[in-house]
Amino acid sequence: MNFAVLASGNGSNLQAIINAIKKKKINANLKLVVSDKADATALVRAQKAKIATCTINPKNFDTREDFDRKILEHFKEFPIDFVVLAGYMRLLSPYFIQQYFHKIINIHPALLPSFKGTHGIREAFAYGVKVTGVTVHVVTEDMDAGPILAQEAVKITTKDTLESLTEKIHRVEHRLYPRVIDWFAKSLSRRQIGPGRL
């Protein structure tokens, strides 16, 4: 199975994925890393691992769908069987999601359905909950609302700061996401189908 990663920033989850592939803990081929930001560190991480990269500037497109169609053009070169979001800060268009229906997964730094959106760690900390965590889910047209594949809880202690909580969340993400990606790839492989609807 071939997969692509979409990333916008530092790419620490991407690095965890790359490391897991090297250790043969993910039985799938990471063929392409796409970013909407030319200065994303994720691109540097991919290039060091000799993985193909592509930067697409959303300002060059009139609509979100036009932008996503350009990404899909690049996917055809490999081809890509499923998609992994790793710190990707753009919402996918309904068109993109339909092309990879139930074949896009995302990791979220909170226990969904709580604290959806881009500031899950900060909002959980500010709210004062005693337990937060990490969720890996299937991407659907509704933000952070797709079927949950895995969750792991993280306790918030009285000694935690926002920074220490962030570190704890990231440690769980880096361990959990590669495991789920491997399971997801095996699950799709058993179905023996390419891009499109399940």
Q: Which domains does the chain have, with CATH numbers?
A: 2-191 (3.40.50.170)
Tell me the C-alpha distance between 43 and 196, whole Å. Answer: 27
Is the pLDDT confidence value at 91 over 50?
yes
Residue with the two structure tokens 């000694």: 159
For strand 104-108 and strand 131-138, is the pairing parallel, antiparallel, or unpaired?
A: antiparallel
The pLDDT score that the predictor gives to residue 198 is 34
Tell me the C-alpha distance between 72 and 80, whole Å. Answer: 9
Tell me the C-alpha distance between 35 and 44, whole Å. Answer: 11
pTM of the model: 0.93
Is the pLDDT confidence value at 87 over 90?
yes
Q: Is 170 a catalytic residue?
A: no
Is the pLDDT confidence value at 195 over 80?
no
Residue with the two structure tokens 């053009």: 73
Q: Which of 108, 119, 170, 174 is catalytic?
A: 108
The pLDDT score that the predictor gives to residue 158 is 95
pLDDT band for 46, please (50, 70, 90 cuts). very high
153, 133 in Cβ contact below 8 A? yes
Is the pLDDT confidence value at 197 over 70?
no
> What's 92's DSSP letter?
P
The tokens for 132 are 């937060």
Is the pLDDT confidence value at 137 over 60?
yes
